[in-house]
């Protein structure tokens, strides 16, 4: 899997690293038709509020890890075109898009313990094809050029196919994604290539005006050289009830299996509850909480229990002023064998309109990511009640903080320009993974 400019010039795209999973993966944190909002799944957590930030990861920290890059071109918010395309051939409409980014800063690691300074030029031309009103295919190559020879230039590729249909009171969704990306990752302290495949099927049955049933199955694969490959299968069912347009509740159950290349495999079960509250156009509240029981097998060990959380608050204080807050806690196999990450993060955003077509954004966050070692060992042949559990030993603990300041201007209807400045820091119990960095850059974003 060579990932260089000379090796590959194309990058099949998800219009964003997470665009496809968010649309398709309504499995863990998704809402059915009676609950008017959609949220990401437990294992594919997208960037908050449509931007990527170190510590929140892109395409989900569990699958792609976190990066100290100011903003990855393969981690943008999903491209959802409106209106007619640039060209149309029968039922096909064509929507081109182009993103250019330049950044300069330090705090990137090409190898553990070596923080480097580099300029990065990146360009991502892409095109989205729409077939009628039910199918889209997004394709984008993304090329990144580093001024520091310690890093290698890369060509990433990604593709996303999404479709849906309705039949009476049923809505059926199908999504398929592919992603090949190389980035410096905090977890490994190196520039790592990852290849990911995602498949999602869901069916929503609107039982009546207040109740709906949502069924979903997902298959997610991650391949990463010299680290822990992951094959994951999950199925999640939600029963939703909408009291009125402002308030809805849901009860969800999940069964899943994580097969890893290094260490023990892990079946798991989740029980989740959800409350959505939207008292008016300005305020949107969502709380999802529950727990996960994770078993350790092949070789076996005591099971592991952890609470789960995904809480979101969005508030439109004034026509030009908005606030947002997201808190989450997830569990996932680590990049290293026989380890689990229990990732807790809090991210906040303030967006303020200044004048004309100019607005200002502040985004900041905190993430705690312990690497918990799985202690395998024989289990008792018989037990009553809940299975034996263990408290995992923490072999490494990372805490990340960051703040990003961004000034955005809409030049034309389809073209925006922005400049940004970012501060980020990772404090680790293992000195090789400590870093502190600053980055400054600009972006040009065109979407037809």
pLDDT of residue 385: 58
User: 10 Å Cβ neighbour count for 169?
Assistant: 12
Contact 263, 273 (CB under 8 A): no
pLDDT tens column, 59-88 = 233 356 676 553 344 444 556 676 777 888
- Confirm whether 175 is domain-assigned: yes
pLDDT for residue 44 is more than 70: no
Has residue 241 got a pLDDT over 60?
A: yes
Considering the domain boundaries, does residue 9 fall inside one? no
- Total count of domains within the chain: 1
Widest Cα–Cα separation across the chain: 71
Calculate mean pLDDT across residues 410-424. 92
Residue 328, pLDDT score = 93
Closest by alpha carbon to 77, among 154, 20, 142?
A: 20
Which pTM value belongs to this model? Answer: 0.81
pLDDT recorded at residue 375: 72
CATH of the domain at 393: 2.40.160
Q: What is the tens place of the pLDDT at every residue in 180-221?
A: 989 888 888 888 899 999 999 999 999 998 999 999 999 999
For the stretch 361-414, pLDDT in tens is 999 999 999 998 887 666 555 555 566 666 678 889 999 999 999 999 999 888
Q: Do the Cβ atoms of 336 and 299 come closer than 8 Å?
A: no
Calculate the average pLDDT of the chain.
Answer: 80
- Domain interval for residue 94: 19-447
Q: Is residue 303 part of a domain?
A: yes
Tell me the C-alpha distance between 154 and 145, whole Å.
Answer: 7
In-domain check, residue 6: no
Residue 8 CA to residue 321 CA, distance in Å, equals: 43
| Residue 277 placed within a domain | yes
The token duo for 239 is 């029963």
At 429, is the pLDDT very low, low, confident or very high (cuts 50, 70, 90)?
Answer: very high
Contacts of 212 (CB under 8 A, 6+ apart): 32, 33, 34, 35, 204, 205, 206, 239, 240, 242
DSSP annotation of 65 reads -
């Amino acid at each position: 899997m060579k990932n260089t400019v000379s090796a590959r010039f194309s990058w099949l795209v998800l219009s964003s690293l997470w665009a496809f999973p968010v649309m398709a993966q309504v499995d863990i944190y998704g809402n059915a038709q009676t609950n008017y909002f959609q949220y990401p799944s437990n294992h594919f957590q997208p960037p908050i509020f449509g931007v990527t930030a170190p510590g929140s990861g892109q395409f989900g920290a569990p699958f792609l890890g976190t990066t100290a890059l100011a903003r990855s071109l393969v981690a943008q918010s999903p491209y959802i075109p409106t209106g007619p395309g640039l060209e149309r051939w029968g039922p096909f409409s064509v929507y081109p898009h182009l993103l250019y980014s330049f950044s300069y800063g330090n705090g990137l690691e090409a190898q553990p313990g070596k923080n480097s300074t580099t300029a990065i030029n990146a360009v991502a031309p892409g095109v989205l094809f729409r077939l009628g009103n039910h199918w889209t295919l997004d394709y984008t190559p993304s090329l990144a050029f580093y001024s520091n020879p310690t890093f290698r230039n890369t060509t990433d590729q990604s593709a996303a196919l999404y479709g849906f249909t309705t039949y009476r009171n049923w809505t059926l969704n199908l999504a398929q994604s592919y992603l090949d990306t190389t980035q410096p990752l905090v977890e490994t302290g190196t520039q790592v290539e990852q290849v990911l495949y995602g498949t999602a099927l869901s069916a929503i049955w609107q039982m009546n005006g207040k109740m709906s049933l949502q069924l979903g199955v997902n298959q997610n694969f991650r391949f990463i050289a010299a680290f822990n490959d992951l094959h994951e299968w999950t199925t999640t069912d939600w029963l939703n009830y909408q009291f009125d347009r402002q308030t809805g509740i849901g009860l969800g159950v999940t069964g899943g299996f994580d097969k890893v290349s290094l260490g023990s495999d892990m079946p798991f079960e989740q029980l989740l509850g959800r409350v959505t509250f939207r008292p008016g156009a300005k305020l949107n509240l969502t709380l999802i909480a529950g727990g996960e029981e994770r078993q350790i097998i092949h070789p076996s060990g005591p099971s592991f229990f952890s609470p789960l959380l995904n809480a979101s608050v969005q508030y439109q204080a004034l026509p030009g002023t908005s606030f947002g807050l997201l808190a989450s806690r997830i569990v996932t196999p680590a990049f290293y064998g026989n380890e689990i990450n229990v990732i807790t993060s809090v991210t906040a955003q303030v967006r303020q309109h200044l004048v004309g077509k100019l607005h200002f954004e502040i985004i900041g966050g905190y993430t705690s990511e312990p690497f918990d070692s799985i202690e395998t060992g024989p289990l008792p042949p018989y037990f009553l009640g809940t299975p034996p559990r263990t408290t995992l030993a923490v072999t490494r603990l990372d805490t990340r903080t960051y703040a990003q300041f961004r000034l955005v201007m809409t030049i034309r209807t389809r073209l925006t320009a922005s400049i940004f400045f970012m501060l980020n820091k990772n404090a680790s119990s293992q000195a090789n993974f400590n870093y502190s960095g600053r980055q400054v850059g600009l972006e040009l974003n065109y979407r037809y």
